[in-house]
Chain A
Amino acid sequence: MKLFGKLVNFEFRRFLPIYISLLTIVFLIESVGVLSYSFMMKSEITESIVKHGLSKEQFLQDHGFISIGNVLSGFMFTLPIVIAAVTIFIYILFIWYRDWLGENTFIYRLLMLPVKRIQLFFSKGVTILIFVFGLIAFQVAILPALQVILKLIIPVDYRLDLTTQGLIRSFYYLKFLLPENFIDFVINYGFGTAFVIVLFTMTLIERSYRFKGIFIAAFYGISALILVFSPYILQGIMQGYFYKNELLWMQFSIAIVLSIISVFFSNHLLNRKIRV
């Protein structure tokens, strides 16, 4: 267990420089988004009151209260989420390959560590989970800070300040990433984890069987996808027999079984088939 912790720590530190850059990019883009919105609204206020002589009430009637909630679904908040998601997805794809294809073949060292090789698999998976949760925590943490930028620019009478919970509710992607009930949380992250496990297994299939492995991995991935969506195929055949909730639980159960099979298969590949 101690060695597993060290493995996770090692993996984490390898990606840390890119991760910190990613967090910085997220903060900068969102700050620019809030700043430009705040200044735009401030000039609107000035223009309405000074040029057109509107009262505060008339302005609010036309524009509504100015809130950070108005930009949370905009481009400047969608872009960093997309950048982060794409970066982490690429990282999931390359977390194994970099050990084979880097300047030095670090995979020798990893496979010769005095730990069960499946621990390498889990340590890489846990590292990804830490990055995802870290990113979400960072996003939640900076929202109040971003709101402060808006508070500094827009007068209080024109503003609607949100609580942290209100901020999360107004942010479409966070609503999905941080569901309000535990079951939704388990389902969302359960599917995410299953996806990563299947991708890891596909990578290990390719690394074990090389050229032939590309086709086996593709077959494995497509089969997994068909299996996960098979409840909907069944639903089509049975002409809407199942409730939506039942379909979701069927999918979730299949994803769990698929994850367990993938872990066992990966363990077999790492111990018996892998090559440097």
Chain B
Amino acid sequence: MIKLTGVEKRYGRKKILNGVTFEAGKGQITCLIGINGAGKTTILQAVMGLTPYQKGEITIDGEKLSPKMMEKITYIPDAMTLLPKMRIKDAFQFMADFYQNWNEKRAKEILNFFKLQEDERISQLSKGNTAKVNLLMGLAMDADYILMDEPFSGIDIFSREQIADVFSSHLVEDRGVIITTHEISDIEHLIDKAVLLADGVVKKEFMTEQIREDEGKSVIDVMREVYQG
């Protein structure tokens, strides 16, 4: 389980995260929802040790982040993190060199699923294919947790559908997924838990199925209540 307790982060005088507390379990898809600037990306970066935070604690299965932990958790940012001159196959080699949990077979399976070619250069990928390669790099690792930052941001409808298909496939089965988005409609039916954020604070946290069954509300209904009063 990924657990955040009272996490606070400031940029200068501005508080980006103001005591964020929530949990994301294994085998669940947890969605961080909020408008731009709500602190979604900062939370994921803080979990991965990519940005410092001033207060609070983040643990992964009860342990603090360490180099060893990078085999257990993987982060898929919304920007390409591979070198432009690399070909996809070079990126596979890079991952295989450094990660014991890199699953080459799965990487090739996802490559075929997305209809990408190993010889394609990173710099020549379209925005949609860049998002797919990013996703591939994270999903092809046998990691327990996957953090995804805005995987649907700025890509065409067909790529969105393909990426959304991944969430209902065996590729994320049994793993803990935290996904951030401000476009919930694409994945509303796939998520298990929603965490609504605003101004660096968790406004509401709920299990989607429970709220559907108990109150007959969709995630979007709850969002309206929280964000529009």
Residues on the B chain within 8 Å of A272, using CB: 52
Are A115's CB and B49's CB within 8 A? no
Q: B75: CB under 8 A from chain A?
A: yes
Question: Interface residues of A, CB < 8 Å — how many?
Answer: 25
Q: In the complex, which of the residues A10, A14, A109 contacts B81, with contact meaning CB atoms closer than 8 Å?
A: A109
Q: B80: CB under 8 A from chain A?
A: yes
Are B94's CB and A114's CB within 8 A? no
**Residues A114 and B98 in contact in the complex (CB < 8 Å), given A271-B49, A275-B52:** yes
CA distance A51 to B49 in the complex (A): 79
**Closest Cβ of chain B: how far from A144's Cβ, in Å?**
36
**Closest Cβ of chain B: how far from A270's Cβ, in Å?**
9
Nearest B residue to A104, CB-CB: B80
With most chain B CB atoms within 10 A of its CB, the pick from A106, A114, A271 is A114
CA distance A3 to B71 in the complex (A): 14
Residues on the A chain within 8 Å of B52, using CB: 208, 272-275
Are A114's CB and B82's CB within 8 A? no
Q: B226: CB under 8 A from chain A?
A: no
Are A102's CB and B79's CB within 8 A? no
Are A104's CB and B50's CB within 8 A? no
Size category, B interface: 20 to 34
**Residues A113 and B70 in contact in the complex (CB < 8 Å), given A3-B98, A6-B97:** yes
Q: In the complex, which of the residues B67, B70, B79 contacts A105, with contact meaning CB atoms closer than 8 Å?
A: B79
Q: A112: CB under 8 A from chain B?
A: yes
Map CB proximity to A onto B49-62 as digits: 1 under 8 Å, 0 otherwise.
11110000000000
Nearest A residue to B72, CB-CB: A114
Residues on the B chain within 8 Å of A208, using CB: 52
Residues on the A chain within 8 Å of B227, using CB: none
CA distance A86 to B160 in the complex (A): 47
Are A10's CB and B94's CB within 8 A? yes
Are B99's CB and A109's CB within 8 A? no
Q: A56: CB under 8 A from chain B?
A: no
Are B99's CB and A114's CB within 8 A? yes
**Closest Cβ of chain A: how far from B28's Cβ, in Å?**
22
**Closest Cβ of chain A: how far from B99's Cβ, in Å?**
6
Are B48's CB and A104's CB within 8 A? no
Map CB proximity to A onto B61-80 as digits: 1 under 8 Å, 0 otherwise.
00000011111001101011
Q: A116: CB under 8 A from chain B?
A: yes
Are A275's CB and B84's CB within 8 A? no
**Closest Cβ of chain A: how far from B10's Cβ, in Å?**
12
Q: In the complex, which of the residues A104, A112, A115 contacts B75, with contact meaning CB atoms closer than 8 Å?
A: A112
Chain A residues engaging chain B, CB cutoff 8 angstroms: 3, 6, 10, 14, 102-106, 108-109, 111-117, 208, 271-276
Listed by A's residue number, 16 A-B pairs whose Cβ atoms lie within 8 Å are A6-B98, A10-B94, A102-B84, A103-B123, A106-B82, A108-B79, A112-B75, A113-B70, A114-B67, A114-B69, A114-B71, A114-B98, A114-B100, A115-B98, A275-B51, A276-B51
11 more A-B contacts (CB under 8 A) besides A112-B74, A114-B98? A103-B84, A103-B123, A104-B122, A105-B80, A109-B94, A111-B49, A114-B67, A114-B71, A114-B99, A275-B52, A276-B50
